[in-house]
Chain A
Amino acid sequence: MSKLMLTGVGIILIFMIIAILAPLISPHPPNRVNLTARLMNPTSAYPLGTDHLGRCILSRTLHGTRYTLGLAFIVLVIILIISTVIGCISGYYGGLTDETMMRVVDIFLAFPAIILAIAIVGLLGPGLINLLVAMSFVWWAGPSRLIRGLVLTVKEREFVAAVRALGARDSRIIFRHIFPNILPPIIVLLSLEMGSIILSISGLSFIGLGARPPTPEWGAMLSEGYLYMETSPHLMIFPGMAITLSVLGFNLLGEGIRDFLDPKGKYAAGLSKF
């Protein structure tokens, strides 16, 4: 493992630990309002200061890890399920099924995903569930094509022919035999998307389409904090740093993986959605 990748893994692990331990290590409950301590600079009681309602920014940022990373993880799992089903069916059956599905994928890829996502949340109404729906709806196409490619290589292998000769049904071949073999590369490939997913979730929450205040989601915290930017910049500095660091962690991991898979660096950095 390269130094880059190790740093990335380290950052991700730290955020995961923070997400698990958030209630234990936060000095205050994230939504406790203290109107006598509004917009305070960092003190010993409030290590990162307080916001316009006197809530502890450190506690909110720590809890935000659960929301932002948790949501990104849920989106990732939904995308994983959708794209695995589509990729497996398309790759395994081939022919007209494959052709039709891949044309639909093409069309989805030929569309600015984030604009569609914004429109879907906009029409369904802002909120977390609708954000998850919209992001999954626009994100499945790319991974589906990758998974189809993986299925194509695995289905030609001898053990698949052997299972088929034993009379296994298609669904059993796909899910019990092909799927376990392509799962590790799928997880690696999808982890490359995490950075973009985090940026999209916090970006949409920032403009008010995802998590809404008082949820301590990082993007939502920024959308509250920037109004007080001139006098109390700490309101927006820490949640923003948290987003940047977590995305950086996943991007470093991605760079490491790419260096490993593609040492010549032909394909360079990935495309972030924002």
Chain B
Amino acid sequence: MRSYILRRFISLVPVLFLLSLITFGLLCITPGDPAEMALSRSGVNPTREAVEAMKTELGLDKPLCLQYIHWFGKALHGNLGTSYRTGEPVTQEILYRLPATMELSLAAIIFIFIVAFPAGVLSAIYRDRLVDNASRIAALLGVSLPGFWLGLILIYLFSMKMEIFPVIGRGGLNHLILPAITLGSGMAAIYSRFIRAGMLEALSQDYIQAAYARGIRSWRVITRHALKNALLPIITLFGMSFGNLLGGAVIVETVFAWPGVGKLVVDSIFERDFPVIQGVVLFMGLIYILTNLLVDITYTWIDPRVRLKRDR
């Protein structure tokens, strides 16, 4: 197990290297001369001498690979530059907005599990019956609905017409419900089908027949024996879908004016605040990669079959 974790950590090195390359490369594709833009932002007339001086100051006269090493060294210390818009350090801006995004993602995950588990398990038990068909249609609709449109419809129905929930912004639990449903709906649909498939696979195994034969009550067989095994693929799926959740958050936060990292990146795009855009990509990439690492390790740790195979 320990050697597996070690190997997994080593395999992170190229991924993190490419992540840093992509993030650094993003700034190279931005149109316009950064030195000139820095000058005009501070209100200095961008004459040729001033631009040259600024280039030297920003290190832009050095070769790209040196610039990268310089940038990478600063990034390792958590220094991602300062926001053009607010003048605050980018890291601080992101850390300030991160709790809101985490809160929203966590609420969405809770929603996903509340919906997907009963739907998936019941569909598997009552395969090809009414419950299964209804949940299949609901799942197809769930993955086909654009998140932002679902959000708008929910706002229209529950905030404007029935006035049950507040329209936008962050606050108590009632602010959280609509955005969480919007963010989670697509994923809930996918999870419910995966749980169904995992349950069907598990229920067809010999050990389930054996459990029944031993006279264990069917509810216990389903929850303790089948569900436990059906859960394993879900852990992997969770790692894969976490990126979708972060991506979806960008749009959901825009719809609900939720003050998270997603809203920050969209606002920064329209303000041409490049360091913040770059910083968010690096941050989101890091979170995503670390989540997947955690998922892989958990998976190996939970399932002894995988653990033994990998240790060999």
Contacts and interface: CB of A to CB of B under 8 A. Distances in A.
Interface stretch (A25-33, A144-152, A175-183, A247-255): A247-255
Contacts of B27: 123
A248 B140 contact: yes
Contacts of B266: 118, 122, 207-208
Contacts of A240: 146, 149, 152-153
Most buried by B among A106, A118, A125: A118
A247 B278 CA distance: 31
Residue of A111, A124, A219, A269 with most chain B CB atoms under a 10 A cut-off:
A269
A: interface residue count bin = 35 or more
A270 B244 CA distance: 12
Interface stretch (A57-65, A157-165, A226-234): A226-234
Interface stretch (A37-45, A91-99, A198-206): A198-206
B203 interface: no
B190 A268 contact: yes
Interface string B79-111: 000000000000000000000000000000000
A110 B292 contact: yes
Interface in B230-287: 240-244, 246-248, 250-251, 254, 265-266, 268-270, 274, 277-278, 280-281, 284-285
A274 B29 contact: no
A119 B277 CA distance: 6
Nearest to A236: B152
A203 B139 CA distance: 20
Nearest to B244: A273
A12 B194 CA distance: 26
Given A273-B247, A274-B251, A115 B197 contact: no
A274 B262 CA distance: 13
A202 to B, nearest CB: 6
B149 A103 contact: no
A122 B153 CA distance: 27
Contacts of B243: 111-115
Interface string B112-146: 00000000000000000000000000011101111
A9 interface: no
Contacts of A233: 156
B18 interface: yes
B243 to A, nearest CB: 3
A153 interface: no
A272 B186 contact: yes
B72 interface: no
Interface in A186-216: 195, 199, 202-203, 206-209
Contacts of A125: 31
B179 interface: no
A133 B272 CA distance: 19
Given A110-B289, A120-B29, A222 B152 contact: yes
A230 B14 CA distance: 50
A96 to B, nearest CB: 15
Contacts of A272: 143, 186, 190, 244
A113 B247 contact: yes
B146 A226 contact: no
A270 B200 CA distance: 18
B30 interface: yes
Q: Is the interface of B mostly helix, strand, loop or mixed?
A: helix
A244 interface: yes
Contacts of A195: 143-144
B149 A244 contact: yes
A10 interface: no
A118 B144 CA distance: 21
Contact of A269 (B30, B31, B152, B189): B189
A75 B190 CA distance: 24
Contacts of A226: 152
A212 B147 CA distance: 19
Interface string A232-274: 0100100010011101100110010000000011111111111
Interface of A: 103-104, 106-107, 110-116, 118-126, 195, 199, 202-203, 206-209, 219, 222, 226, 229-230, 233, 236, 240, 243-245, 247-248, 251-252, 255, 264-274
30 contacts: A104-B18, A111-B19, A111-B243, A111-B288, A112-B288, A113-B243, A113-B247, A115-B250, A115-B265, A115-B285, A119-B265, A119-B280, A119-B281, A122-B266, A123-B27, A124-B29, A126-B269, A203-B251, A207-B254, A230-B156, A240-B149, A247-B145, A248-B144, A255-B140, A269-B140, A269-B190, A271-B244, A272-B244, A274-B146, A274-B247
Interface of B: 14-15, 18-19, 22, 26-27, 29-31, 139-141, 143-149, 152-153, 155-156, 160, 186, 189-190, 193-194, 196-197, 200-201, 240-244, 246-248, 250-251, 254, 265-266, 268-270, 274, 277-278, 280-281, 284-285, 288-289, 292
Given A111-B285, A123-B274, 7 more contacts: A106-B15, A107-B19, A111-B19, A115-B243, A115-B285, A230-B160, A272-B190
